[in-house]
Amino acid sequence: MMKKQYRNIFVEIGIEPTEIEARLQEIRYNYFYGNEERVYYPVGDDMAYIMDTGNNDARTEGMSYGMMLCVQLDMQKEFDCLWKWAKTYMWMSNGFHEGYFAWSCATDGTKNADSPAPDGEEFFAMALFFASHRWGDREGIFNYSHEAKEILRACLHKGENGRSGVPMWNHDNHQILFVPGSDFTDPSYHLPHFYELFALWAYEEDRDFWKQAAVESRKYLIKACHEKTGFSAEYAEFDGSPMRRKLPWTDDRHDWFYSDSYRTVANIGLDYEWFGKDEGQCHAAQAIQEFLLEDCRKNTYHIYEINGSIAGELALHPIAISATVAMSTLAATTDYSKEWVENFWKTPMRTGERRYYDNCLYFFAFLALSGNYRIW
C-alpha cells in the first residue's frame, strides 16, 4: 500500500475531528441504508445495486462509484455485493462489446443498453485495484487485481488479434473516448491520478501507455477548462473545444457547463492531492471558485455556457456543484476556498428523486476534504 499524508480541509478551517468523523458516519449510513437519501439496494444476501433515482436504473457510473466508496470506507461486503451484481448483469461476455459492461440496466438486471460508458470501466478498475491492496485477492470474480487488469486490457486492446470491438482510448493522443469508437471525449472522464496508478499496476505491456495518458490528460484539461470561468463542456473535441456536432442518438446539447461537467474540477482537485502535479490545470479550480462565488452565497446555481453567460434555467444538480467546487480547494486555495468549504459543510445531502448524482459527488467531496479519499 502506498502511504502519504492527506489534507483534512475541514480541520484546517477549524472543525473538530470528532465532529467530522460523526458526520462521515452519518453520510455513510444515509447513502447506503437511510430512508430519504439511500441509493444502495441489496438483492438477496450477496448482491446489490446503486440506483440512479432520477432514471430508475443502475448504471456503471453509479455501480463503480459505489465500489470506490466501499473500498475507501472498508466496506468489503457491500463492495462484493455491488461487484457481483455488475458482473452478473452488466458484464458482456460475448458480442462486439465483449469484456465491457453495459452502461445501463433495469433494477431487475435486464440490460437497457448493449454498449459501455468508459468512465464506468476506469472506476471499476481503480476500485478493484484498491480492493486487492486493502483486502487481498480471492478466487473467481473476487480475484480483484486480475479483474482490474482484464478490464484495462479490454479498454486498450479491443479489436486487436481478431478480437471484436474497439478500444476506449485513442492510441494516438492517449485520450479517453466518450464511447468506444467515438472521435471526441468527455473532460470529466479524464482521471490522470488513476492513470498514474494504472501505470504501476496494469499488465506490464500497457504501463507506458498509462504513464503517457496521465501526462496527456493533464495537458488536455488545461485546454478543456475555460480560462476565465474554469468551466469545461460536458463533451469536448480532442483539442479541448466544446463538442457542438449533432449526435445521432439525441437532440440534447452537451457543449455547455452542465451535469457531467461538474466533476472536472473535483477530479483536478483529487489528482493534485494525490500526485501534486500542476501543468496548469489547477488554474481551473481557482477560476471556478471565483466565478461562482455569488451563486455559492445565494445558494442558487445556473446552467452556464462555458464562457460564463447564463444559458437557461437553474441547475438540475446544485448540490453537485457545491460539492465539487468545494473539493477543488485541494488543487487551488483561494481567498474564497474557506467560504466554499464552509458552505458545503452546512449543506445537507439531497433527498427526492434527483438525489443519486448529487449525493455520489457529495460523498466523494466529503471523503476528499476530510482526508479519507486515499490511494490503497
- How far lies 69's CA from each of 24, 75, 145, 168, in Å? 12, 8, 18, 24
Amino acid at 103: W
* Dihedral angle of Cα 70, 373, 53, 83, to the nearest 10 degrees: -30
Grid cell for residue 49: 445495486
Which positions are catalytic? 61, 260
CB 319 within 8 A of CB 366: no
Q: Is the dihedral of CA 79, 81, 82, 85 positive or negative?
A: positive
Closest among 278, 255, 260 to 268, alpha carbons compared: 278
Convert 166-183 to b/e letters by CB count within 10 Å (16 or more is b). ebbbbeeebbbbbebebe
- Smallest CA-to-CA distance from 358 within 54, 111, 108 is with 54
Q: Which residues contact 117 (CB under 8 A, 6 or more apart)?
A: 59, 60, 61, 103, 179
- Rounded Cα distance, 100 and 93, in Å: 8
* Residues, the chain: 376
Question: Looking at residue 1, what is its pLDDT?
Answer: 46
| Contacts of 94 by beta carbon, 8 Å cutoff, 6+ apart | none
| Neighbour-count burial of 188, counting CB atoms closer than 10 A to its CB (0-12 exposed, 13-18 middle, 19+ buried) | buried
Question: Which burial class, exposed, middle or buried, applies to 32 when counting CB atoms under 10 A from its CB (0-12, 13-18, 19+)?
Answer: buried
Using the structure block, give the residue that is written with the C-alpha cell 444476501.
45
Asked if 332 and 266 touch (Cβ cutoff 8 Å), the reply is no
Q: Look at residue 124 in the predicted model and tell me its pLDDT.
A: 99
Structural domains in the chain, CATH included, are 10-39+223-376 (1.50.10.10)
Q: Using CA atoms, how far apart are residues 147 and 5, in angstroms rounded to an integer?
A: 29
224 half-sphere exposure, CB direction, 13 A CA radius: 34
Residue 176 CA, distance from chain mean position: 13
Nearest to 99 by CA among 52, 66, 147: 147
Q: What averages of pLDDT result for each successive group of 10 residues across the chain (376 residues)?
A: 82 98 98 95 98 97 98 98 98 96 98 97 99 98 98 96 93 98 97 98 98 98 98 98 92 94 98 98 98 96 97 93 98 94 98 97 98 98
Predicted local confidence at residue 2, as pLDDT = 57
Can you read off the three cell numbers belonging to residue 67? 465500489
Residue 235 pLDDT: 98
